[in-house]
Amino acid sequence: MSPPLPYRPYCTKEDEEGLYMRLEMPGVGKEGMRIWVENETLLFEGKELKDENETIARHYSGSLSTFIASYELNETKATMKNGVLRMMIPKKKKKKLE
């Protein structure tokens, strides 16, 4: 019997505007969230801070680099509420041929 697959607490969808991601990070608030772009990869990290000494109780991290050439990573918009991170990564504008 094989071990169970890891739980993937996220979902994505795409439309003509961009890519939408929803990630569950229980216990993480705005102060424990970090999103940045490095080497054409969107990275995110969430930490639940347990006490005033910033002891970490939970830690989440991930990256997105597949099909990134189609998106404006530096224009990513994100909100964090009730342990749920929502990101919208806009598509690059298509250049019109003259």
CATH of domain 10-90: 2.60.40.790
- Are 18 and 91 spatial neighbours (Cβ–Cβ below 8 Å)? yes
pTM: 0.75
Regions of the chain where pLDDT drops below 70? 1-8, 51, 53-54, 56, 67, 96-98
Q: How far apart are the first and last CA of the chain?
A: 60
Q: In the prediction, which pLDDT does 69 show?
A: 79
Taking residue 32's Cβ as centre, other Cβ atoms within 10 Å add up to 21
pLDDT at 79: 94
What pLDDT is recorded for position 93? 84
- Which two tokens mark 5? 């697959």
> Max Cα separation, the chain?
60
- The predicted pLDDT at position 10 comes to 82
Distance between CA atoms of 12 and 64, rounded to whole angstroms?
A: 11
